[in-house]
């Protein structure tokens, strides 16, 4: 049994220490304070397996911030002789060895890491994310819905991790206000480039995306009656106010105007009642 994962295990017996779980012929203790009150022999329970301070396999019903083979933004609790210790939501912190730190980690700072295993099968954290990611698309299609994890901000926009597998790019004019490193959100494949690199968007592409943008503008107008935004407004102002790119804003606004729902002026847009 490899630590760092969730398992469904069967309760063999219960005693004053807790519940003893069957793990391929051996028994693993789930301490009494973590046992649900209705737990009984023969029942199946989901637990997370990790190594305690004595490197013994330990079962817990607590949920870590991430399991093995996942990415997470974790805070450094302390620095030791072998690396940084990260809080991943369990009693024992997770080691990020110095060899897995592109830049030396600092206590109190948060870092995006991948939970993996060392050569001895022990869970560790690595901030060398590139070695876990593919850059060239193998199975995604334009318009496909994906999970997007914000990795790092650049001059072009944001480097993101798609479906826990691919490195991709979210362009600057697609980034809504308030988006932070470590945020996870729904996105869509915007395009697959000639070099098979992936560009993503957080708005549904095509007509569906325009419908979403229309609804965002109408909701803002219904709440305020007037928006001080127009064709010449800076993209940053539109994005901070509505979370839309300027292109999305202009297309949706044009449709609302043609439908007679809004009035356009030099100072902004007004909802017609």
Task: Return the SS3 of 253.
Answer: helix
pLDDT attached to residue 206:
55
- Tell me the residue range of the domain where 101 lies: 71-130
- 75 and 36 share a domain? no
Domain boundary among 16, 33, 60: 60
pTM, whole model, 2 decimals?
0.75
CA angle 117, 159, 65 (to 5 degrees): 40
End-to-end Cα separation, the chain, in angstroms: 65
In this structure, what DSSP letter does residue 134 have?
Answer: B
pLDDT in tens, 6-50: 999 999 999 999 999 998 777 899 999 999 888 999 999 999 999
Q: What is the rounded CA–CA span in Å between residue 15 and residue 255?
A: 68
> Is 139 within the bounds of a domain?
no
The average pLDDT across 146-164 equals 95
Q: Classify residue 135: in a domain, yes or no.
A: no
pLDDT band for position 199 (50/70/90)? Answer: very high
Does residue 140 lie within any of the structural domains? no
Residues 263 and 245 placed together within one structural domain of the fold = yes
As a whole-number percent, the residues of the chain with pLDDT over 90 amount to 61
E strand segments, the chain: 6-15, 18-23, 26-31, 44-51, 57-60, 71-80, 83-87, 94-97, 110-117, 123-126, 145-153, 157-162, 166-171, 184-192, 198-201, 226-227, 262-264, 269-271
Residue 81: give its domain's CATH number. Answer: 2.40.50.140
174 falls within a domain: yes
Q: Which of 86, 192, 68 is nearest to 137 (CA)?
A: 192
* Same domain membership, residue 211 and residue 197: no
Four-point Cα dihedral 119, 64, 187, 237, nearest 10: -120
Contacts 24+ apart (CB under 8 A), 23-29: 23/57, 28/57, 28/58, 28/59, 29/58, 29/59
Determine the Cα–Cα distance for residues 269 and 273; give it in Å rounded to an integer: 13
Q: How many residues does the chain have?
A: 273
Structural domains of the chain, count: 4
* CATH code of residue 232: 1.10.10.10
- Torsion angle of C-alpha atoms 234, 240, 246, 250, degrees rounded to 10: -110
CATH number of the domain where residue 25 is located? 2.40.50
Over range 86-98, report the average pLDDT. Answer: 96
Phi, psi of 245 (to 5 degrees): -75, 165
Residue 234: CB partners within 8 Å, gap ≥ 6? none
């Amino acid at each position: 049994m490899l630590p760092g994962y969730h398992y469904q295990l069967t309760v063999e017996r219960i005693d004053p220490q807790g519940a003893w779980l069957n793990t391929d012929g051996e028994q693993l203790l789930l301490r009494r304070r973590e046992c649900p009150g209705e737990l009984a022999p023969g029942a199946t329970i989901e637990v997370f397996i990790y190594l305690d301070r004595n490197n013994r396999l330990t079962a817990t019903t607590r949920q870590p911030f991430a399991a093995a083979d996942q990415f997470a933004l974790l805070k450094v609790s302390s620095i030791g002789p072998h690396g940084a210790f990260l809080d991943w939501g369990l009693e024992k912190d997770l080691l990020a060895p110095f060899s897995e730190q592109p830049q030396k980690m600092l206590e109190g700072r948060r870092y995006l890491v991948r939970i993996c295993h060392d050569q001895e099968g022990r869970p560790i954290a690595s901030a060398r994310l590139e070695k876990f990611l593919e850059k060239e698309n193998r199975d995604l299609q334009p318009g496909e819905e994906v999970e997007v994890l914000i990795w790092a901000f650049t001059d072009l926009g944001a480097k993101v991790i798609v479906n826990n597998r691919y490195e991709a790019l979210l362009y600057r004019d697609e980034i809504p206000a308030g988006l932070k490193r470590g945020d996870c959100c729904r996105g869509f494949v915007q395009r697959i480039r000639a070099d098979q690199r992936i560009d993503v968007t957080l708005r549904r592409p095509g007509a569906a995306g325009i419908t979403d943008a229309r609804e965002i503008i109408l909701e803002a107008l219904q709440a305020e009656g007037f928006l001080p935004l127009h064709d010449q407004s800076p993209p940053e102002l539109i994005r901070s106010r509505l979370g839309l790119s300027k292109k999305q804003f202009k297309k949706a606004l044009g449709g609302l105007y043609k439908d007679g729902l809004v009035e356009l002026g030099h100072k902004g847009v007004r909802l017609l009642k």
